[in-house]
Amino acid sequence: MATTSTHDQHDFHVRNEGSIILFYPQTDLAREWWAEHVNPSELDGLVGGHVIEHRFARDIIEDLVNHGFQLKAVR
């Protein structure tokens, strides 16, 4: 019998703020990937996540999915 888990198993939470997209790594592996693949923004510390301009977000999301990460849209 399969059991369900209430644990959020997403690697990233992603929040659309219009002209910017916020990425919130949820796992150590997600944080490591981000540090190796994406340049930090000077705004990152102000919002608790990583700030990406909308025009670059799609490529990052596609790369994350291609690397097997699970993403969740949050409000």
Q: What is the pLDDT of residues 37-67, one digit of tens each?
A: 998 887 777 777 899 999 999 999 999 999 9
Angstrom distance (rounded) from CA 16 to CA 3: 32
Sorted by where each starts, the structural domains of the chain and their CATH numbers stand as: 12-73 (3.40.1170)
User: What is this structure's pTM?
Assistant: 0.83
pLDDT, tens digit, for every residue of 66-75? 999 999 999 8
